[in-house]
């Protein structure tokens, strides 16, 4: 699967290069967490998928990923989703970066083969919050699924 992703949406969105940027990395991890946790259950498959994609395809250190996930999780527990969605909007000021962060979040949500109504709702809120209002989530999901 990794090599397939390298040839498709992962490469098209320049994720390996983007993940070297600390601000984008935070936005990407936050996006993935928010969508995956929307249904109240960030599954083990989703966590493993995030680690696999960021470590293998993005060259990101596992400790950095865990550190970011802990911060995001604590923030969401304390203040809810909205402040973190706003933070992602601050971190991805250009449209292409916003699209890349959203794509990664959607890919992680699909890892457990259950894209719930709650995940869809948060993905829509995230898209709006990062300047992608009205984006066709089904089209993006189709692109990820190949």
pLDDT reading at 70 higher than 80 = yes
What CA–CA distance (Å, rounded) separates 27 from 9?
A: 18
pLDDT score recorded for residue 1: 45
The CATH number assigned to the domain with range 2-145 reads: 1.10.3680
pLDDT in tens, 88-144: 999 998 999 999 999 999 998 888 888 889 999 999 999 999 999 999 999 999 888
Its sign, for the CA torsion 64, 69, 72, 78, is negative
Angle subtended by helix axes 22-37 and 95-109, to nearest 10:
40
Residues 108/35, Cβ–Cβ less than 8 Å = yes
The band of 7, judged by pLDDT with boundaries at 50, 70 and 90, is low
Instruction: Kindly calculate the radius of gyration of the chain based on its CA atoms and give it in whole angstroms.
Output: 13
Domain ranges of the chain: 2-145
Global pTM reads: 0.89
pLDDT in tens, 9-63: 888 888 889 999 999 999 999 999 999 888 887 778 888 888 888 888 778 888 9
């Amino acid at each position: 699967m990794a090599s397939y992703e390298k040839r498709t949406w992962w490469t098209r969105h320049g994720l390996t290069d983007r993940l070297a940027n600390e601000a984008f990395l935070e936005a990407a991890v936050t996006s993935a967490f928010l969508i995956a946790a929307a249904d109240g259950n960030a599954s083990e498959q989703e966590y493993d998928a995030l680690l696999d994609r960021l470590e293998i395809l993005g060259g990101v250190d596992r400790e950095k990923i865990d550190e970011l996930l802990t911060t995001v999780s604590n923030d969401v527990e304390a203040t809810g989703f909205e402040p973190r969605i706003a933070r992602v909007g601050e971190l991805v000021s250009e449209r292409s970066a916003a699209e890349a962060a959203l794509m990664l979040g959607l890919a992680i949500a699909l890892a457990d083969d259950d894209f719930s109504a709650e995940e869809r709702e948060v993905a829509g809120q995230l898209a709006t919050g990062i300047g992608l209002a009205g984006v066709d989530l089904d089209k993006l999901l189709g692109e990820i699924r190949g």
